[in-house]
């Protein structure tokens, strides 16, 4: 990160942060703006950029759409989340309509096409700064008594100003701030306060002390509640309402409700607006609304409008209750998605089983099927049922794991006897069907401190994966390595490999090599990872190509592509998983001293 | 029954293809199978089957839905009856029973829900081929 901190000749007129990966533009812009009398900072990494917005007082941001491979407009919602007041000027070398529309949609202050016209930039920065210090009522901060441009943020107050607002002595405030009862930050030896936080504190404290039960009850409610008058302006609201909209109180009270909740400049139609309907009918109205936040996320809200009658029975105000059901709705939607996904996957897996078995039990059809074929059909059915069994088990294990109820009862275990051999026996029919072999390589046999049942599941998932995605007539290599503190299982297979783009999140739930052709729920490897973590271990995946009998992973292959005189498409691929778990180093008699190999033929 | 009738089956599940092919062959049909919409279109250029059995869920870019609409638009293939297979539950908001036959949305002659028994499939095929 480079910060240009040359002292300007005259007092700084504003702080500008530039984010652009084009060094030439940055140099030119910063030189120009410094000559104009601004403090200019530049960020060269995205995280540094956000740090600066968060921690420093920035008045204007100049952001390039093409910055370090990130689309600049994707950053805008995040910037707004950190500081919603800072004006953003976007620059772009791409003058296409598409970019222009996307940038404008994000609500930026100005959009400039490169090469930059410096006069245009000067004007944009000047106007952005003016807007920043202009309040909603049109008066400028500059004209307000006691506030100067150099104050940057009208929201940050010192001890004197806080004492004026809270009507408390400075000493008292310092004491309260020290105890953490008042929201404040200590910068150097000075206490600083944010105006909105202070007002909020004052209001809540006041609410706690007052005798107005109505306000008090509203404050205790989780739902956002606002009182709206006939002109659709918000008269009052509780803290939950403010939080749901993420807007400070002084921006809401007195504002039109449609501008606050829908960011619209016109009132909603009476047929869709519960508040207007309640005014019209004098009856309570309930409806469901979908609103969007700054980042474009959908919010599903139940809105209840309750007319408030005065003593003459006339409705002058409506109480609007907003219940955000987004989480509930999303939970419901996710549950439905998972249930559907699981239902479809299991029905598809059952498809060939039902077809085969129903054909075998139907005399008309089966009488024409030769014995060898019948056996094949039974074998295929068994393999698919095994797949289903594993799918259901993984589903249950991952569910129990998510809820934190999965038990891990570690004990000294002879892994060969209780994990490896039984699992491989289970897979004999699958191996036979694909004419595959498993080769086990181990340096010695030692007991491992683990949960045998969970290890069996993890190993079973790795082997099942290797068989499912392995090519016919190949060998699955499996090696066990017992070190003093680590026990490692490696499973290697030749077949479809893991696509390069899937490698990074292959252990995420519902991630599969390919959604098609090979059935599964994408939970197997997730379960392996879960089990590895329960044993203070890790699991890694590698994939790549087989070249001259050697395995070359994707990164290595792409780095030395020229050296390998081969067509990428013609190459066989491999997948390799290593599961490492922490072993307590239990000392038991070594069964084999020399490396030995066992073969399990399908 | 005419033993010479040809069926083209498109499904991305190899096990299901193998099982169904055997069942239909033992019931007296010639069955050709393929695993993607692309392959299906290529095969249709050389042979003209009497029936196409199509799975709904295939590669994301070219689902069974798209393929059947495409086939019904093409004058070479529009007269070939299509039997659609689906693993989506019938009680799902998508109502296949109502949608089947709709020119714009699912222009197929018949559809069946997976998993399906061999006997039921053979009967449906007989009916569509008017054997």
Domains and CATH numbers, chain B: 6-128 (3.40.50.2300)
For the segment B55-87, what is each residue's pLDDT rounded down to a tens digit? 876 655 567 778 888 888 888 888 899 998 877
According to DSSP, the β-strands at A447-450 and A298-309 are: unpaired
Kindly report the nearest CA distance between residue B77 and chain A, in angstroms.
26
Kindly report the nearest CA distance between residue B87 and chain A, in angstroms.
5
Judged by CB atoms closer than 8 Å, whether chains meet at B118 and A355 is answered as yes
Kindly report the nearest CA distance between residue A280 and chain B, in angstroms.
37
Which of B20, B60, B87 shows the shortest C-beta gap to A355? Answer: B20
| Residue to test with chain A: of B38, B58, B61, B114, most A Cβ within 10 A | B114
Q: Tell me which chain B residues have a C-beta less than 8 angstroms from the C-beta of A359.
A: 19, 22-23, 26, 118
Kindly report the nearest CA distance between residue B5 and chain A, in angstroms.
18
Q: Tell me which chain A residues have a C-beta less than 8 angstroms from the C-beta of B13.
A: 348, 351-352, 517, 519
Residues A38, A125 contacting (CB under 8 angstroms):
yes
| Residue to test with chain B: of A339, A342, A345, A354, most B Cβ within 10 A | A354
CB pairs under 8 A between A and B: 84
Q: Tell me which chain B residues have a C-beta less than 8 angstroms from the C-beta of A517.
A: 12-14, 35
H helix or E strand, kind and range, residue A49: helix A46-55
Domain A223-324 is found in CATH 3.30.450.20: yes
Asked if the peptide bond before residue A115 counts as cis, ω within 30 degrees of 0, the response is: yes
Structure tokens at A225: 């509640």
Kindly report the nearest CA distance between residue B101 and chain A, in angstroms.
23
ipTM: 0.86
Angle (CA) B57-B58-B63 rounded to 5° is 80
Judged by CB atoms closer than 8 Å, whether chains meet at B19 and A355 is answered as yes
**Between helices A371-402 and B14-26, what is the axis angle to 10°?**
150
Burial class for A89, CB neighbours closer than 10 Å (0-12, 13-18, 19+): buried
Tell me the residue ranges of DSSP E strands in A168-282: 185-187, 190-194, 224-229, 234-237
- What number of CA atoms fall less than 13 Å from residue A160's CA on the CB side? 1
DSSP string for residues in A557-571: HHHTTTTS-S-GGG-
Kindly report the nearest CA distance between residue A179 and chain B, in angstroms.
58
Q: Give the residue ranges of chain B where pLDDT is below 70.
A: 1-3, 57-62, 88-105, 131
A117 CB-near residues (< 8 Å, 6+ apart)? none
| Residue to test with chain A: of B87, B120, B125, most A Cβ within 10 A | B87
Query: Cα dist. A306→A220, A227, A241, A292 in Å?
Result: 18, 9, 16, 24
Q: Tell me which chain B residues have a C-beta less than 8 angstroms from the C-beta of A348.
A: 13, 16, 57, 87, 114
d(CA A553, CA A551): 6
Q: SS3 for A16? A: strand
Judged by CB atoms closer than 8 Å, whether chains meet at B114 and A350 is answered as yes
Residues A298, A290 contacting (CB under 8 angstroms):
yes
The CATH number of the structural domain formed by A155-209 is 1.10.10
User: A587-600 burial, b for 16+ CB within 10 Å, e for fewer?
Assistant: eeeeeeeeeeeeeb
Q: SS3 for A15? A: strand
Q: Tell me which chain A residues have a C-beta less than 8 angstroms from the C-beta of B92.
A: 340
pLDDT at A143: 36
Judged by CB atoms closer than 8 Å, whether chains meet at B117 and A358 is answered as yes
Residues A501, A507 contacting (CB under 8 angstroms):
no
For A384, the closest chain B residue by CA position comes to B15
Judged by CB atoms closer than 8 Å, whether chains meet at B19 and A365 is answered as no
Count of positions (residues) in chain A: 602
Q: SS3 for A300? A: strand
> What is the Cα gyration radius of chain B?
14
Residues A574, A546 contacting (CB under 8 angstroms):
yes
For A362, the closest chain B residue by CA position comes to B119
Burial class for A235, CB neighbours closer than 10 Å (0-12, 13-18, 19+): middle
Which of A340, A343, A356 shows the shortest C-beta gap to B19? Answer: A356
Query: Which architecture does CATH list for A405-601?
Result: 2-Layer Sandwich (3.30)
Q: Tell me which chain B residues have a C-beta less than 8 angstroms from the C-beta of A339.
A: none
Q: For chain A of 602 residues, list the mean pLDDT of each consecutive stretch of 10.
A: 40 78 84 87 72 77 73 70 77 76 72 82 82 42 35 64 82 82 76 77 61 64 85 84 75 81 79 88 85 73 87 86 85 81 80 93 88 92 91 89 86 90 92 92 82 94 92 92 87 90 84 68 90 92 88 85 77 92 60 47 47
A356-365 long-range CB contacts below 8 Å, 24 or more apart?
A: A356/A380, A356/A381, A356/B19, A357/A381, A358/B117, A358/B118, A358/B119, A359/B19, A359/B22, A359/B23, A359/B26, A359/B118, A362/B118, A362/B119, A364/B119, A365/B23, A365/B26, A365/B27, A365/B118, A365/B119, A365/B122
Closest Cα partner for B119 from A246, A109, A354, A395?
A354
Q: Tell me which chain B residues have a C-beta less than 8 angstroms from the C-beta of A383.
A: 15
- Any idea which fold A15-143 has? Rossmann fold (3.40.50)
State if pTM tops 0.90.
no
- Domain boundaries in chain A? 15-143, 155-209, 223-324, 405-601
Judged by CB atoms closer than 8 Å, whether chains meet at B19 and A359 is answered as yes
The answer to whether domain A15-143 and domain A223-324 are alike in fold is no
pLDDT at A75: 74
Judged by CB atoms closer than 8 Å, whether chains meet at B89 and A351 is answered as no
Judged by CB atoms closer than 8 Å, whether chains meet at B23 and A516 is answered as no
For B20, the closest chain A residue by CA position comes to A355
| Residue to test with chain A: of B86, B118, B126, most A Cβ within 10 A | B118
CA A535, A540, A546, A551 torsion-angle sign: negative
d(CA A240, CA A382): 57
Neighbours of B71 (CB within 10 A): 21
pLDDT at A149: 33
Judged by CB atoms closer than 8 Å, whether chains meet at B118 and A358 is answered as yes
Structure tokens at A358: 């129903």
Judged by CB atoms closer than 8 Å, whether chains meet at A516 and B12 is answered as yes
pLDDT at A516: 54
Tell me the residue ranges of DSSP E strands in A264-314: 285-292, 298-309
Burial class for A442, CB neighbours closer than 10 Å (0-12, 13-18, 19+): buried
Judged by CB atoms closer than 8 Å, whether chains meet at A344 and B60 is answered as no
Which of B15, B27, B119 shows the shortest C-beta gap to A352? Answer: B15
| Residue to test with chain A: of B113, B115, B126, most A Cβ within 10 A | B115
């Amino acid at each position: 990160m480079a910060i240009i901190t040359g002292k300007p000749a005259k007092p700084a007129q504003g702080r500008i942060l530039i984010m652009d990966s084009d060094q030439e533009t940055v140099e030119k812009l910063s030189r120009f703006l410094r000559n104009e009398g601004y403090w200019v900072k530049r960020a060269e990494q995205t995280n540094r950029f956000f740090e600066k917005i968060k921690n420093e007082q920035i008045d204007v941001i100049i952001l390039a759409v093409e910055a370090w491979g990130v689309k600049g407009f994707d950053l805008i919602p995040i910037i707004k989340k950190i500081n919603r007041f800072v004006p953003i000027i976007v620059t772009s070398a791409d003058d296409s309509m598409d970019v222009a529309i996307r940038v404008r949609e994000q609500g930026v202050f100005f959009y400039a096409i490169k090469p930059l016209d410096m006069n245009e930039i000067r004007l944009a920065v000047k106007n952005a700064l003016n807007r920043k210090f202009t309040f909603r009522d049109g008066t400028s901060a500059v004209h307000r008594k006691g506030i100067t441009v150099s104050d940057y943020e009208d929201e940050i107050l010192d001890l004197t100003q806080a004492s004026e607002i809270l009507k408390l002595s400075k000493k008292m405030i310092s004491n309260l701030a020290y105890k953490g009862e008042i929201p404040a930050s200590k910068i150097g030896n000075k206490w600083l306060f944010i105006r909105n936080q202070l007002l909020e504190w004052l209001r809540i404290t006041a609410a706690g002390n007052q005798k107005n039960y109505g306000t008090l009850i509203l404050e205790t409610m989780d739902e956002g509640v606002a009182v709206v008058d006939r002109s659709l302006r918000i008269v009052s609201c509780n803290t939950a309402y403010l939080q749901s909209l993420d807007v400070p109180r002084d921006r809401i009270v007195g504002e039109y409700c449609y501008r606050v909740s829908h960011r619209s400049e016109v009132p909603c139609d009476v047929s869709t607006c519960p508040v207007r309907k309640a005014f019209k009918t004098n009856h309570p109205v309930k409806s469901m609304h979908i609103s969007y936040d700054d980042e474009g996320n959908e919010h599903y809200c139940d809105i209840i409008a309750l007319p408030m009658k005065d003593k003459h029975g006339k409705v002058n105000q409506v109480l609007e209750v907003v219940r955000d059901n987004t989480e509930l709705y999303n939970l419901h939607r996710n549950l439905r998605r998972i249930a559907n996904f699981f239902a479809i996957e299991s029905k598809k897996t059952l498809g060939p089983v039902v077809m085969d078995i129903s054909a075998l039990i139907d005399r008309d059809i089966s009488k024409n099927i030769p014995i060898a074929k019948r056996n094949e059909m039974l074998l295929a059915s068994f393999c698919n049922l095994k797949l289903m069994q594993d799918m259901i088990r993984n589903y249950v294990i991952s569910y129990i794991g998510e809820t934190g109820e999965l038990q891990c009862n570690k004990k000294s275990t002879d892994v060969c006897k209780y994990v490896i051999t039984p699992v491989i026996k289970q897979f004999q029919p699958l191996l036979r069907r694909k004419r595959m072999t498993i080769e086990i390589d181990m340096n010695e046999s030692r007991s491992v401190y683990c949960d045998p049942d969970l290890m069996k599941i993890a190993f079973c998932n790795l082997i099942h994966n290797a068989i499912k995605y392995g090519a016919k007539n190949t060998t699955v290599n499996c090696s066990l390595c017992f070190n003093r503190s680590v026990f490692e299982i490696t499973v290697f297979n030749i077949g479809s490999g893991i696509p390069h783009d899937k490698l990074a999140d292959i252990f995420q739930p519902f991630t599969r090599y390919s959604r098609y052709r090979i059935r599964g729920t994408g939970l197997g490897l997730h379960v392996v990872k879960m089990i590895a973590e329960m044993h203070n271990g890790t699991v890694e995946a590698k994939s790549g190509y087989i070249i001259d009998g050697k395995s070359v992973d994707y990164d290595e292959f792409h780095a030395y592509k020229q050296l390998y005189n081969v067509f990428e498409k013609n190459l066989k691929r491999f997948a390799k998983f290593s599961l490492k778990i922490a072993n307590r180093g239990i000392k038991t008699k070594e069964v084999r001293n020399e490396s030995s190999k066992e073969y399990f033929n399908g | 029954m005419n033993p010479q009738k040809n069926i083209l089956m498109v499904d991305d599940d190899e096990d299901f293809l193998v099982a169904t092919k055997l069942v239909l062959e033992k019931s007296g049909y010639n069955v050709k199978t393929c695993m993607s919409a692309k392959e299906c279109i290529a095969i249709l250029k050389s042979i003209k089957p009497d029936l196409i059995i199509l799975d709904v869920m295939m590669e994301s870019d070219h689902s069974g839905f798209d393929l059947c609409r495409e086939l019904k638009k093409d004058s070479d293939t529009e007269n070939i009856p299509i039997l659609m297979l689906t693993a989506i539950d019938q009680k799902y908001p998508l109502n296949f029973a109502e949608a089947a036959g709709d020119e714009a949305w699912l222009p197929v002659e018949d559809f069946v829900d997976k998993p399906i028994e061999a006997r039921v499939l053979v009967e449906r095929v007989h009916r569509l081929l008017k054997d």
